[in-house]
Amino acid sequence: MQSHPASDASLREPQGSRDSRRQPPKVNLSGLYQRAVKEAFVKLDPRLVVSNPVMFVVWLGTLVTLLVTINPNLFGTLQADTNQQRLLNGIITLILFFTVLFANFAEAVAEGRGKAQADSLRATRSDTIARKVLPNGSTQEVISTELRRGDQVKVVAGDMIPADGEVVQGVASVDESAITGESAPVLKQPGTDISSSVTGGTRLLSDELLLRITQDPGQGFIDRMIALVEGAKRTKTPNEIALTVLLAVLTQVFLIVVATVPPIAGYIASFVTEILGSEAGNSLRTGSSIAILISLLVALIPTTIGGLLSAIGIAGMDRVAQFNVIATSGRAVEACGDVNTLVLDKTGTITLGNRLADEFISTNGNSIQEVANICLAASIFDETPEGRSIVQLAEGLGAKVSFDSKTAEGVEFSARTRMSGTNVAEQEFRKGAVDAIKSFVRSRGGQVSETVDQAYERVSRLGGTPLAVCKGNEIYGVIYLKDIVKSGLRERFDQLRRMGVKTIMLTGDNSITASVIAEEAGVDDFIAEATPEDKIDVIRREQAEGNLVAMTGDGTNDAPALAQANVGVAMNSGTQAAKEAANMVDLDSDPTKLIDLVTIGKQLLITRGALTTFSIANDIAKYFAIIPTIFAAAGIGALNIMGLKSAQSAIVSALIYNALIIPALIPLALQGVKFRPLTADQLLQRNILIYGVGGIIAPFVAIKLIDLVLPISF
Amino acid sequence: MKPVKMKPVEMKPVKMKPVRAHTRKRRLPSLPESTAQTLETVAELWSEGRRQKLPLYLFLALCFNLVLAPIVYAAADGELSQTQSWALGVLGLSVIALSVYLFCVMFAPEKFS
Amino acid sequence: MLQGWMQIALTLLIVVAITPWFGNYMARVFQDHSTLLDPVLNPVERFLYALSGVRAREDMTGWQYARAILYSNLVMAVFIFTVFMLQGLLPFNPTGIGAPTWDLALHTAISFVTNTNQQHYSGETAFSYFSQFAALGFMMFTSAATGIAVSMAFIRGLTGRPLGNFYSDLTRSITRVLLPISIAGAVILMAAGIPETLAGPAVVPTLEDPAIRQAIARGPVAHYEIIKELGENGGGFFAINSAHPFENPNGFTNLIEIVALLSVPTALIYTYGIFANSLKQAWLVYGMVMAIFVGFIIITAIGEYQGNPAVNTLLGGQQPNLEGKEIRFGWAQSALFAVATTGTMCGAVNALHDSFMPNGGFVTLSNLFLQIVWGGQGTGTAYLFTYLILAVFVTGLMVGRTPEFLGRKIEKREVVLASFLLLLVHPIAILIPSAITLAVPDVSGISNPGFHGLSQVVYEYASAAANNGSGFEGLGDATPWWNLTASFSLLVGRYVPIIGLLLLADSLSRKQVVPMTSGTLRTDTRLFTGVTAGVILILGALTFFPVLALGPIAEAFQIAKGIG
């Protein structure tokens, strides 16, 4: 039963907690902030700002306040000290300018981190000398960038692999730590789906390989990863677009609100002048001067989320990258949060990749010793971990082979026969799936006793995989191959369930075995005796019910399913076809990571929602700071519940708060809101309390404090 | 998952069009160098003006403001000077332009990414 | 004082009591279940459909539905405009009233076709009986039925059904809901003392001096009165509307009228609950709106009860503010009527809103701005659930999923429609014309300058945009300026949202339903209902904070300080 790439799996079995396992490539973050500051100024280019409606309004506002700083009476003569007006307008201009700058800075920092990540990947990209194999068999040294798809190259121990390719010949171990951070070397050999593909930039540790290049230069896997991480191809995700619409609508609403203030205030001012005298009227007119109206507009439009929206998106991609997963688009990361069905392969994801022989069960009344002898005989050529564990168990029972192994010949496992074994002279030792062995025995004229079925059932009930062993036409016994469920999975599936994510396990095992493993691992549903076609059927069925499905896969026959799934995560060890079809690639080839991806996706959405709510909730305080103070002459001073010193001080305080909240929230935007595996209702309650109620209260406190500290008195 | 194709941003960087300028130059070989250069520049400006809509709109807005400013001046009943009326007219037009821009973002947000 | 509060509480209790019955009845009508009146009405409807060639069973898409509304309303508007202009030649005109000015006729036609019934005229002197019952009375049924049809299409779309057929919904709204209740109601109102006659004004000798004779206007009022309230129309037969003793003679008719005007929008929430199979959510939303409603009543009633401090000083003691009120209704029923009529976009009035204390001005204006404190006939309910959608979008991301409402994902298209029609239509239709009116000299016709004058102007446009139709009054509004600008607000406030709502419903109805899991944001919880209230407050009301601050709030402080 060479069911899985044993060599590969045994070398990189995820063990221990994720944190101890994960060693992401070293990312050079020094100078990040200096570069971000520079970048923030570059991003002041109006052609760039125009893509962000909220910041574009602030940017234009800054321009206008700059004009009224130069000439305070540009749009109408104000009955106030021109120098004071100029000073106030200058301060407002400065704060507005910094608001735009802070927003640019947030985006630049997020991008800078992505770039740093890309640089560390690019470091592996240095041009190397490759030995190109010419059609006549001789080799020629060329620069790796000159290699084209289809070329063959020879790589020897110590060499850097020049480009993405497929192993044609040879067996060797490769250090992929440059891209995966995993220090354990990986075995590469031709023919198999999984372990035959190599990635450019990784280093060969031993032996030599003949490779066929599968990607043109600049098209390689790492090149595409670099482009994505850098954000070169970043487009807004559906959620971001919907949010942009809301922000544009809110900006439009407040633009109308503010633009209609002058006639209204003017009307009131002429009335107030009549009953209270010209001083009150002038105070109202000054209160609705252009600079103050622009301040009001900027304070009311959702600058906080407007300034941080793109940073949140970039940081989401970046967080995924830190998990050593490369997403092909922000859309894919976002979809992770929406996933409500995970389709998981049993082997390698839920259970450890390799099953180990746990027990021999005799049938037909054979002694255990005899069974052990046959098992040993059938397995001596089996190099898979399962085979070796059978040999180990048999030798532990004192089994011995009754023939010289040099005279024997191994029979390879094949998907068609579903068995492997040993031929010695006329004797045939076989082991394999029970029904396969049964038909083998029958074809040799033997009988199958009921005890075989009993043993089969027993093993299945224990959640193990039964393998029958036979010698010639007689079944001697059944091997109990035990599946080991990864530790800690049950808790994670529980968390997922609480978050509303259903897990479906796919396995080639029979349904009894599958149900036992499913029970042990705590998955919600399972598909037994599954074929690759079943995978895509399950995904289609779930999607028809309205679910978003995520799955992992590595083989070429997984590719259609990976393409069909809403989130398809290919293992880096997988074939090129699988990687092409997927929208994410896990560099660690750890299928369990799908669960983390769901968390990251949710975190991304929560962060966006939280900052939007916070930003909108802030408006109450800003309204209460600005409106009563600038229109105090209309007799609504009592609404100034914060007791702010003056209209000027209130405006400046509100704007300072408005500007400073952006850098203050950059860490939150970049790291994301801490995610807890709670139900939707609990999450809403928690986040509404923090970001909704907090968003109402925080600016009241902050604006009051700034007002107290400010030395402004006009 | 198919990546959604986004339309490229509608902002066109200012680029010279050397081909057209070159043909002009060949047709006017006898003119003095400075005149040829001037013509070249005019040709460039013309071709540029046909692609870049923004300057045209700005120009039209300023023209329209010549009509708007006197109305504002008259409505203000002597409270505003002529310059202030003109500035206010420009400001009003900018607000309307901003509003149009925001409507564009609302209905076609994909273009602004 | 206690008596007043008891009157308010009793009225509300009656409204709550009939909600489940009425809501259930409407759900049955619009789900084509059998109802009591089937034997009579089925043949009638079949005849009407055959006559007009309507294929009533054919479902419409959002655009088809919207087009059907626009075309039919256009035809009706042209019809009644023609009737107004030709009323001098038409029958049932005992007082020989001639044609109104074209702008007044246009404004009135638009105002009635949009279910607003904003009146820049006095009914008894401007329109003949024929215009009143054939044009205005006709529109009172059809415009109200249009509103109910929109809400039904919206609810169907929201709950994943096809939107239905506008002509069928329009017919059934009239034959099954409005007409039966109006007939019964008109009979009751006649019994309670409201006239129903085609005879001209009664000319009687006055009591003081029999030699002096007085003409008392009357007419076919009773049937007009009940549909005026039931259909959230609000256009009074007489100029002073439900304050007139022939429109609203006593406490009993007042009760009937308040209950009638509250009944449809309240019951439609329950109808939604049946369609969505979630009565829990229906009652929660109902509770939220009721809480805002009761809060508004209390604010208004307290202001009226405490009276005007300036007047109280003269009187030497606290007296309720009875300026502009009918003594037979007193402060409590006047306050209740004012809040109910502005909240439901009925627009009938039994007291002069202009004379309310600033509390009342604040509440009535807020009602018009929010449009969901029960809201207009049909459209109010649709707005309410659109607010829920907006709340889902704003806060729903915080549970880590693309927000969904009733299992349908809220994406760009929904956000564009919902935010546009909830947040943007109103500022465009209210603030912009208000600002222009105040900026252009000599057009406002404000009678009481200052903060109150601002309220008058804003109120007029808010009333038009919200399709309420009540007037703050005291505004010289029968001018071409007011007729035409108000017509703009009327049209924008009516048809833009209706198209938006139908497209929104259409796009929601086509969405694949995402199954409910524990990761789904539940919208039928108290928490979420509270969140929705917050979103309504912050997004819906704060937009108008500057206007409210400089209008009624400043006026309240002014009165409190005794200035002016």
Put simply, the answer to whether A631 touches C547 (Cβ < 8 Å) is no
Three-state DSSP class for C393? helix
- pLDDT range class, residue A134, cuts 50, 70, 90: confident
| C289 vs C284: CA distance, rounded Å | 9
Asked if A104 and A39 touch (Cβ cutoff 8 Å), the reply is: yes
pLDDT of residue A78: 79
Of C26, C139, C124, C121, whose CA–CA distance to C78 is shortest?
A: C139
Does the structural domain A6-10+125-229 have CATH classification 2.70.150.10?
yes
Q: Which range is most confident: A583-587, B69-73, C428-432? A: C428-432
pLDDT value at residue A434: 85
CB atoms within 10 A of CB C488: 17
pLDDT digits 0-9 by tens, C228-272: 999 998 888 888 889 999 999 999 999 999 999 999 999 999 999
Q: Report residue C258 as tokens.
A: 């308040």
Write down the pLDDT at residue A10. Answer: 33
* Helix axes A238-259 and B82-107, enclosed angle (nearest 10): 150
Q: How far apart are CA A611 and CA A347, in angstroms?
A: 40
Q: Please tell me the least confidently modeled range out of A350-354, A651-655, C163-167.
A: A350-354
Structure-model confidence comparison of residues A136 and C305, the more confident one: C305
Helix residue ranges per DSSP H, C276-306: 279-306
Q: What is the pLDDT of residues C125-151, one digit of tens each?
A: 888 888 888 888 889 999 999 999 999
C-alpha C473/C-alpha A702 separation (Å) is 43
Residue A194 has pLDDT above 60, yes or no: no
Chain C residues with CB inside 8 Å of A245's CB?
Answer: 412, 415-416, 419
Query: What is the percent of chain A with per-residue pLDDT over 70, rounded to a whole number?
Result: 89
Per residue in A104-120, is it b (16+ CB within 10 Å) or e — as a string?
A: bbbbbbbbbbbbbbbeb
Confidence of residue C190 (pLDDT cuts 50, 70, 90): very high
The yes-or-no verdict on residue A191 having pLDDT over 70 is no
Contact A602 C420 (CB under 8 A): no
Whose tokens are 């799936």? That residue is A433
Mean pLDDT: which of A135-149, A206-220, A373-387, C332-346 is highest? C332-346
* pLDDT over 50 (residue B23): no
Distance in angstroms (rounded) separating the CA atoms of residues C156 and C506: 9
Both tokens of C397, joined, read 């991301």
pLDDT at res. C312: 85
Under the banding of pLDDT at 50, 70 and 90, the label for residue A690 is very high
- If you write DSSP's letter for every residue of A647-711 in order, what string do you get? HHHHHHHHHHHHHHHHHHHHHHHHH-PPP----HHHHHHHHIIIIIIHHHHHHHHHHHHHHHH--
pLDDT in tens, C58-70: 899 999 999 999 9
Backbone angle region of A267, left / alpha / beta, with phi > 0 → left and psi within -120 to 50 → alpha: alpha
Catalytic sites of A, residue numbers: 345
Cβ of C327 under 8 Å from any chain B Cβ? Answer: no
State how far the Cα of A218 lies from the Cα of A708, in Å rounded to an integer. 58
Q: What is the pLDDT of residues A277-334, one digit of tens each?
A: 888 888 888 888 899 999 999 999 999 999 999 899 888 888 887 787 877 777 888 8
Q: Is the pLDDT of residue A67 over 60?
A: yes
Phi, psi of A24 (to 5 degrees): -65, 155
CB contacts under 8 A, A 180-209 vs C, are none
DSSP assigned state of C353: G
Q: Residue A23: helix, strand or coil by DSSP?
A: coil
Contact criterion met (CB below 8 Å) for C77 and C111: no
CA C37 vs. chain centroid, Å, equals: 27
Q: How many CB atoms lie within 10 A of CB C201?
A: 14
Residue of A nearest to B6 (CA): A235
Which residue ranges make up each domain of chain A?
6-10+125-229, 32-116+232-318+600-709, 325-352+488-587, 356-482
Cα atoms in the Cβ-side hemisphere of radius 13 Å centred on A649: 18
For chain C, the structural domain boundaries read: 27-204+215-250
Q: Does C416 sit within 8 Å of B107, measured CB to CB?
A: yes
What fold is seen in the domain A325-352+488-587? Rossmann fold (3.40.50)
Provide mean pLDDT across the span C323-349: 91
Structure confidence by residue, pLDDT tens digits, C28-85: 999 988 888 888 888 988 898 999 888 888 899 999 999 999 999 999 999 999 999 9
Region of poorest pLDDT, from A412-416, A521-525, C418-422: A412-416
For tokens 């509060």, name the residue. Answer: C5
* DSSP collapsed to 3 states, C7-70: HHHHHHHHHHHHHHHHHHHHHHHHCCCCCCCHHHHHHHHHHHHHHHCCCCCCCCCHHHHHHHHH
Model pLDDT, residue B18:
44
E strand segments, C163-283: 202-205, 213-216
Phi, psi of A578 (to 5 degrees): -65, -40
Tell which residue, A330, A259, A286, has the closest CA to residue A61.
A259
Determine the distance in angstroms separating the CA of C419 from the nearest CA of chain B, rounded to an integer: 10
Q: Which residues contact A219 (CB under 8 A, 6 or more apart)?
A: none
B15 to chain A, minimum CA–CA distance in Å?
15
Q: Which position has the higher pLDDT, A714 or A388?
A: A388
Residues that constitute the known binding site of A for Mg(2+): 554, 558
Chain A residues within an 8 Å CB radius of B80: 76-77
Instruction: List, edge to edge, every strand of the sheet that includes A356-362.
Output: A356-362, A474-482, A465-471, A427-433, A419-424, A409-411
Interface of C with B in 153-212 (CB under 8 A): none
| Per-domain residue ranges of chain B | 15-51, 53-113
A500–C517 CB contact, under 8 Å: yes
Q: Which of A43, A244, A310, A551 to substitute to test the interface with B, most B CBs within 10 Å?
A: A244
* Least confident window among A191-205, A574-588, C66-80, C499-513: A191-205
Picking from A75, A249, A583, the nearest residue to B1 by CB comes out as: A583
Q: Is A16 exposed, middle or buried (0-12, 13-18, 19+ CB in 10 A)?
A: exposed
Average pLDDT over residues C97-118: 90
Tell me the range of A15-29, A549-563, C336-350 where mean pLDDT is highest.
Answer: C336-350
Chain C neighbours, 3+ Cβ pairs < 8 A: A, B
Which value, to the nearest 10 degrees, does the dihedral of the CA atoms of residues C500, C501, C503, C508 take? 140
> Per the CB < 8 Å rule, is B110 touching A251?
no
Decide if C420 and B75 are in contact by the 8 Å CB cutoff. Answer: no
Which pLDDT score, from 0 to 100, does residue A456 have?
85
Residues A507, A460: contact at Cβ < 8 Å? no
Token duo for residue C138: 């006709």
Feature table: binding site of A for ATP: 382, 386, 413-420, 431
For residue A593 the two structure tokens come to 């990571």
Distance between B27 CA and the closest CA of chain C, angstroms: 54
Mean pLDDT of A470-498: 84
First vs last C-alpha separation in chain A: 86
pLDDT score of B12 more than 90: no
Cβ pair A406, A416 in contact under 8 A: no
- Please tell me the distance in Å from A567's CA to the nearest CA on chain B: 8
**Which residues have a Cβ under 8 Å from the Cβ of C207 and sit 6 or more positions away?**
none
CB-CB contact of A489 with A503 (8 Å): no
**Tokens representing residue A235 in the block:** 């487009």
- Fold for A356-482, please state it: Calcium-transporting ATPase, cytoplasmic domain N (3.40.1110)
Task: Note the residue count of chain B.
Answer: 113
A 484-523 near C (Cβ less than 8 A): 497-502
Q: What is the dihedral of CA C358, C364, C367, C369, to 10 degrees?
A: -70
B9–A235 C-beta distance less than 8 A: no
Distances (CA, A) of B42 to B12, B20, B35, B46, B54: 20, 12, 10, 6, 18
Q: At B1, is the pLDDT very low, low, confident or very high (cuts 50, 70, 90)?
A: very low
- Helix, coil or strand: residue A325: strand
User: Per-residue pLDDT tens for A416-441?
Assistant: 777 888 888 778 888 888 888 888 88
Q: What is the pLDDT of residue A270?
A: 86
CA distance A269 to A263: 10
Tokens standing for A375? 């098992």
Q: Is residue A216's pLDDT more than 80?
A: no
Angle between helices A290-300 and A647-671 (to 10 degrees): 30
Please tell me the predicted confidence (pLDDT) of residue B25: 43
Give the list of residues 6+ apart from residue B60 with CB closer than 8 angstroms, or none: none
Specify the higher pLDDT residue, C120 or A179.
C120
**Residues on chain C touching A679 (C-beta within 8 angstroms):** 518-519
CA distance A187 to A173: 4
Q: Which of A51-65, A461-475, B2-16 has the lowest mean pLDDT?
A: B2-16
d(CA A629, CA A618): 17
Q: What is the structure's pLDDT at B54?
A: 79
- Please give the sequence-ordered ranges of beta strands (E in DSSP) within C327-433, or none if there are none: 404-405, 408-409
**CB-nearest partner of C424 from A253, A627, A628:** A253
**Residue A8: per-residue pLDDT:** 35
Q: What band does C563 get if pLDDT is binned at 50, 70 and 90?
A: low
DSSP B7: P
Nearest chain C residue (CA) to A271 = C450
Residues of B with CB under 8 A from a CB of C: 75, 77, 106-107, 109
- Nearest chain C Cα to B110, which residue? C412
Least confident segment among A415-419, A477-481, A543-547, C343-347: A415-419
Contact B75 C440 (CB under 8 A): yes
- List pLDDT tens digits, range A550-578: 988 777 777 888 888 888 888 877 777 77
Per-residue pLDDT, B21: 41
Q: Are the beta carbons of A331 and B3 separated by less than 8 Å?
A: yes
Which of A60-69, A184-193, A410-419 bottoms out in mean pLDDT, i.e. has the lowest? A184-193
Q: Enter the tokens of residue A528.
A: 């037994």
Name beta bridge partners: A362.
A477
Chain-chain contact of C412 with B109 (C-beta, under 8 angstroms): yes
- Binned at pLDDT 50, 70 and 90, residue A659 comes out as very high
* pLDDT given at position A702: 95
* Ramachandran angles phi, psi of A165, nearest 5°: -165, -175
Q: Is A615 an interface residue toward C (CB < 8 Å)?
A: no
The predicted model gives B100-111 an average pLDDT of 88
Select the residue of A57, A75, A241 nearest B109 (Cβ to Cβ): A241
* CA–CA distance, C381 with C497 (Å, rounded to integer): 12
pLDDT at A124 over 60: no
CA distance C296 to chain A (A): 19
CA C91, CA C86: separation in Å to the nearest integer?
A: 10
3-state SS class at A521: helix
Q: In this complex, which of A50, A565, A583 lies closest to B112 when CB atoms are compared? A: A50
Q: Which two tokens stand for residue C489?
A: 């607000």
Phi-psi region of C523 (alpha: psi -120 to 50; beta: other; left: phi over 0): alpha
CA distance A379 to chain B (A): 43
Question: Residue A402, class by beta-carbon neighbours within 10 Å (0-12 exposed, 13-18 middle, 19+ buried)?
Answer: exposed
pLDDT band at B9 (very low <50, low <70, confident <90, very high): very low
> What is the pLDDT averaged over residues A61-90?
88
CA C113, C116, C119: angle at the middle one, nearest 5? 100
